Amino acid sequence: MNIDKLRRSVLAGAAVVGLALVGAAPVAAQDGWRPSGPVTFALHTRPGGGTDVFVRSLAQSLEPMIGQPVVINNLPGGGGATQMANVRAAAPDGLTLGVNTVSHFTGMLTNLRGVFAPDDFAWIALSQIDPILFFADVNSDINSMVDLVERGRANDGAVNIGGFGPVGSMQHIAMSMLEQNTGVRFNWVAFESTPDIIAAVLGGHVDVGVSNLGPTLSFFEAGRVKGLGVLGDQRLDTLPDTQTWAEQGFDVDTSWLQVRGVFGPAGMDPALQQQIADAIHSAMQAETYQTYARASGVLDSAFGPAEYTQFVQDLMDLAEEQLRAAGMIAN
């Protein structure tokens, strides 16, 4: 997999939807998606995480468009296995959908290998691209990525970093990339929701947390946490003082971005998939959604079923490449 190709693909999708959103407003579905009953979004995390915040923000504008309530079903467990099993077993009628992140793909290559595969699902729409953020309690003496690395080096890796998912998850690989770049080891502490990560940081149970900006934003605004570094090409507009990893001297692959997409069970009618994608991307035009998205530092994507299915294939290749580099799957 060519990393530059994937990066161009991601940013092109974000650029397309960015242009489409200028001056736009969501419109009610007429000849589009009109589900016959409530639509359930199954999530792999507990309430309060980035995926949960995304769906609840989207639901505000999606519900009046489709004329049905949106139900959020939080199904944490097994690094996504509980949620994925629920979606795979659902009828292909569009009434049960899932929201995925990169950890779904790393999971299918590691702890869920042989249990789930991309062909088990219909990949409907890519909605968000979201850089990773390392953060600490505001009173911590770790103030930057440089401080974190120096602490790890001085303490022979006895520095606890908390993030979502087991070894091999998307956020864990971000930590592994830092380890590869610096030769310093850290101790990964796995959680099943971002609120749990934040609580662990504030409670002193871990030294540093890994997340995206959205679910941590209120804690930044309240002055309870501080950013250490953004794994991305640019600083976040909402946290202009938090430097990128590259600005702090760590040359890592910034194409390793969090994504959030919508998927369903295999066998869904392609026309139905396109209707769902169109409705989701139209709902993302709402002012309420755009206010949340811009404050959270996420980029929007307009990828529908065809583009997202190809993106998933490319991302699986990239995830395998990163997992091999981190020594988590055999070469």
Confidence (pLDDT) at 324: 87
Contacts for 153-158: CB closer than 8 Å, 24+ residues apart: 153/182, 153/184, 156/185, 157/184, 157/185, 157/186, 157/187, 158/187
The model's pLDDT over 169-223, given as tens digits with 9 standing for 90+, comes to: 889 999 999 999 999 999 999 998 899 999 999 999 999 999 999 999 999 999 9
Residue scoring higher pLDDT (235 or 254): 235
The model's pLDDT over 112-166, given as tens digits with 9 standing for 90+, comes to: 999 999 999 999 999 998 889 999 999 999 999 999 999 999 998 899 999 998 8
Confidence (pLDDT) at 6: 53
List residues bridging with 165 in a β-sheet. Answer: none
As given in the structure block, the two tokens for residue 133 are: 């953020």
pTM: 0.81
Confidence (pLDDT) at 7: 52
The model's pLDDT over 26-83, given as tens digits with 9 standing for 90+, comes to: 554 456 899 999 999 999 999 988 899 999 999 999 999 999 999 999 999 988 999 9
Kindly state the average pLDDT of the residues 238-249.
96
Domains and CATH numbers, the chain: 3-130+257-325 (3.40.190.150), 132-248 (3.40.190.10)
